[in-house]
Amino acid sequence: GEDYEMVITTNAGLWRYRIGDTVRFTKVNPYRFVITGRTKHHLNVFGEELMIHNAEKALQKVCTDLHLEVLEYTAAPKFTGTNGKGCHEWILEFKKDPKDLQKFRYSFDQALKNLNSDYEAKRYKNMVLEMPILHIASKNLFFKWMKTKGKLGGQNKVPRLSNERKFIEEVLNVSEEEIKQWEESKKSNAKSIASREPFYWVTPETRTFMEKGYLDEGQTVEERAREIANHAEKILNNYTDLLSGD
């Protein structure tokens, strides 16, 4: 089936509002559809129309076949010459690195061909698209990159597919100095938190909730609570300054 972008018009005032989701119909009588991705999450610089669900299914198949697990990934197009040819460049973080990256690379490329006829056409004899470039990310590379961007937390996700190279270049160039600064800052914050009185409102229910994905790697509930409190205090101080005219 085809993927369609959702555009909504309502009698409440929305007019051709593009919500950013893509859908695919599974049935037309009655109408049934599934959400297949986001309009921004695709690769189409070379006319390959590679959607996020293509990438997810291809990775799932290859990982199942080779007994691997991909934790995080991102991809972007890369031009390889002046003749308009190029390829896709991928950074993948595995739970356990593959023993044979070339085998994974070939299998992944083949899976994408089987799932997407446009990708297969562009890959035909390398006329437009060449074999993808794969990088194995070091442990927690994406986590560290998100941390340097101040984008940790459940509402922030690693950009999967992008027609621009901004994200992939940033991930590739996360410097050791940035990582060192982050680790030193984390140690400093931990010492500061340890010297303060505990949060008595951190109940067992709060602890259970935070431990379901709302903590950074190695972060305690108390540290996260202090981080939230400091952020709230900063907002309140700014609001107070605004009201007082300072």
pLDDT one-digit tens code per residue, 81-93: 767 789 999 999 9
Q: Under a CB-based contact definition with an 8 Å cutoff, are residues 18 and 6 in contact? A: yes
Mark out the alpha helices in 6-133 (DSSP H runs): 52-66, 101-115, 117-123
* Percent with pLDDT over 70 in the chain: 83
Q: Which of 21-30, 133-142, 222-231 has the highest mean pLDDT?
A: 133-142
Q: Under a CB-based contact definition with an 8 Å cutoff, are residues 8 and 21 in contact? A: no
pLDDT in tens, 185-207: 666 666 665 556 666 667 888 88
pLDDT in tens, 26-66: 988 898 988 777 777 789 999 998 988 899 999 999 999 99
Helix (H) or strand (E) segment spanning residue 220 = none
End-to-end CA distance of the chain: 59
Give ∠ CA 173-176-102 in degrees, rounded to 5.
Answer: 55
- Report the predicted TM-score, pTM, of the whole model to 2 decimal places: 0.65
**CA nearest to 114, candidates 74, 61, 161, 75:** 61
Q: Which residue has the higher pLDDT, 168 or 210?
A: 168
Amino acid at 202: V
Residue 132's pLDDT is what? 96
Residue 124's pLDDT is what? 95
Q: Under a CB-based contact definition with an 8 Å cutoff, are residues 63 and 93 in contact? A: no
Q: Which residue has the higher pLDDT, 91 or 18?
A: 91
